[in-house]
Structure 1
């Protein structure tokens, strides 16, 4: 698993409101586009400097395409990055205060400590 690449995806998408909406509406297309066009872009560099070797595993790609944040958590994606992006995408779908956060906690409740390793 490339926890780095998954976390980079979560971080980059969460910081662009248009990309958040694109990912909410078209996760398959957004993940494919991002992996092809953005995954190998070097962070904090100007210009078009890129690496060539980064790609999602099949499990990562599937979890990202289906918005499966429990699977991402299990694969070691950073829970703060996952939570903040999915709050931006799905909090509006819940009527009660903290609705999505409570759903997130419920869906991850089967995990016990020690949690999956989030080191990259």
Structure 2
């Protein structure tokens, strides 16, 4: 498991409106494409520099493909990254602040100490 890679996915997808829409409409295909094309790019570097070892495990891949943000939080994904991305994808389907309330409701089973979000 790699909290770094989960957070990198959430961060990079959230900053690209086309990827946000693609992830909303085709989550599994987007996760597979992102893992193949973006996972091993070094953040902040020019193209051409990459690593070769970063991969999602099956649990991470399935949570991302299912838009399962409570599971992502349990896996250690940063809650601000999940919240901002999922607001971008699903706020339009809810009344004002409706998605934020749904997010809080679905995470309400969590209690302190929260999962470690350090990468």
CA shift at 1:48, angstroms? 1.3
What residue is the counterpart of 1:113 in the other structure?
Answer: 112
After superposition, what is the alpha-carbon deviation per residue over 1:13-64, rounded to whole angstroms, capped at 9, x for unaligned?
A: 0000010000000001000000011100111111311100000011100000
* 1:101 and 2:100 correspond: yes
CA distance in 2, matches of 1:115, 1:103: 19
What residue is the counterpart of 1:22 in the other structure?
Answer: 22
What residue is the counterpart of 1:8 in the other structure?
Answer: 8
CA distance in 1, matches of 2:86, 2:102: 11
When normalised by structure 2's length, the TM-score is 0.98
When normalised by structure 1's length, the TM-score is 0.98
CA distance in 2, matches of 1:32, 1:42: 18
Q: Show structure 1 runs of 4+ deviating over 3 A.
A: none
Moved more, 8-17 or 45-54: 45-54
Structure 1 unaligned segments of length 5 or more: list them: none
Structure 2 unaligned segments of length 5 or more: list them: none
CA distance in 2, matches of 1:92, 1:47: 34
- Matched residue of 1:115: which SS? coil
